[in-house]
Structure 1
Amino acid sequence: MINEYYLFKDNEKQGPYNHNELMDMGIGIHQMVLSPLAEDWQAASDLPEFDEYFKSAGIYVPVANNVANFGWRLLAYLIDDAVLFIAAVILWSLVVIIVRYTTGSFDTDSNTTDQELMIRLIAVVLWIFYNAAFEATKVQGSIGKVICRLIVVDGNGQRLNFTTALARNLSKIISSFLCSLGFFAMLWSPMKQCWHDQMAKTFVVRKT
């Protein structure tokens, strides 16, 4: 029977199981499996026949050939930047309308610098929470990333919780230092990680 798999579980060899039985059991990515096509034990995530099963569960284990390159991440960023710019302008416009109706005036000429500073602050806060919220959902990424088929995962290829997603996006402030050097760090990182990815131990993967 070529479909004989064995598990190393509870310090003993268990099986045999067929492919469907292992999926019904909810096999984990770190489960050690002896495949009928291999001579040694391997983690389930290293067996290509389980790729679709893990992907259907939203698990994309980051490896060198699936992490997103600079071009895809830049495109996703530009899309998100446009979305958030529009959102910030709309939000600021609502603030202006509310202030005018409650106070009867809003001096746009004398407060230009303050207005620009406020819009920038709103944009930064929106950027952080927008990305963190989306990364912690089932889509695992912002609108721009969804369009570009990118997701953010942890080292096990799984969805981030909100705390990790928030920490990742707050760390982007550090990545923006020194002329945004931290964002360009992915160009020489083996797993294409920016500084904030490295600090949060996360990866951006392109779904295939």
Structure 2
Amino acid sequence: MGMEIDSPIKLAGFWVRFVAFLLDALLVMAAIVILGLFFGGRGEILYILIILLYYMLLPATPLQGTVGKYFIGLRIVDNDGNRLTFPRSIARYFSYFFSNFFFVGYIMVGARVDKRGLHDLICKTKVISVTKTANVLVTTADK
């Protein structure tokens, strides 16, 4: 007999995903700057590889997302809540191409109840929050 979990999955909305994106952008830019110091601007292929590997492969690893998403407590999962396979992760990366048109795919994250962007819908994925929050009871004194 299966064990039921009482807590619903919390979907990650636009702003928390945007903060994770900013963290990722800073990390990738820092890596490129450091490599630029060593290769003197001749590492274009290496720069492209870093970006591709970072955004294509990390979601299929135990991190289940980029480093920015991981530190914020977000995970990319398929519709069934499983870790992405490498082919699905690669397809999700390339589906960003469609989300980038007028940023419509990203606006969808903020506008949709299920908080899924176009790239999520195309690849049957979602971004969930796995941070544990303490339930705090706040009381106010009656005056």
Q: TM-score, normalising length from structure 1?
A: 0.56
| Equivalent residues of 2:57, 2:89 under 8 A apart | yes
Partner of 1:126: 50
Runs (4+) off by over 4 Å: none
Residue by residue, what CA displacement relative to the aligned partner does 1:12-49 show, whole Å, maximum 9, x if unpaired? xxxxxxxxxx4xxxx5xxxxxxxxxxxxxxxx6xx335
In structure 1, give the amino acid aligned to 2:40: V
Q: Does 1:79 align with 2:23?
A: yes
How far does residue 190 in structure 1 lie from its aligned partner after superposition?
2.2
Q: Does 1:206 align with 2:133?
A: no
| Equivalent residues of 1:129, 1:166 under 8 A apart | no
- Tell me: higher relative CO, structure 1 or 2? Use CA pairs within 8 A at least 6 residues apart: 2
How far does residue 66 in structure 1 lie from its aligned partner after superposition?
0.6
Give secondary structure in 2 for the equivalent of 1:192.
coil
Q: Distance in 2 between matches of 1:69 and 1:190?
A: 9
Matches within 5 A, 1:100-111: none
How far does residue 83 in structure 1 lie from its aligned partner after superposition?
0.3
| Equivalent residues of 1:128, 1:170 under 8 A apart | no
For structure 1, list consecutive stretches of 5 or more residues without a partner in the other structure.
1-21, 28-43, 52-62, 100-114
| Equivalent residues of 1:128, 1:166 under 8 A apart | no
In structure 1, give the amino acid aligned to 2:36: W
Partner of 2:75: 151
What is the number of equivalent residue pairs in this alignment?
A: 131
Partner of 1:174: 98
Partner of 1:106: none
Coordinate RMSD, CA, aligned: 2.5
Residue by residue, what CA displacement relative to the aligned partner does 1:94-128 show, whole Å, maximum 9, x if unpaired? 3327x6xxxxxxxxxxxxxxx9xx59x935x5333
| Equivalent residues of 2:14, 2:106 under 8 A apart | no
Is the radius of gyration larger for structure 1 or structure 2?
1
Identity between Structure 1 and Structure 2 (%): 29
Q: Distance in 1 between matches of 2:101 and 2:53?
A: 20
Q: Distance in 1 between matches of 2:52 and 2:129?
A: 21
Partner of 2:118: 195
Residue by residue, what CA displacement relative to the aligned partner does 1:130-186 show, whole Å, maximum 9, x if unpaired? 0221111112111101110000000110000111001101111221112x2211111
Q: TM-score, normalising length from structure 2?
A: 0.78
For structure 2, list consecutive stretches of 5 or more residues without a partner in the other structure.
133-143
Higher strand share goes to which structure?
A: 1
Partner of 1:136: 60
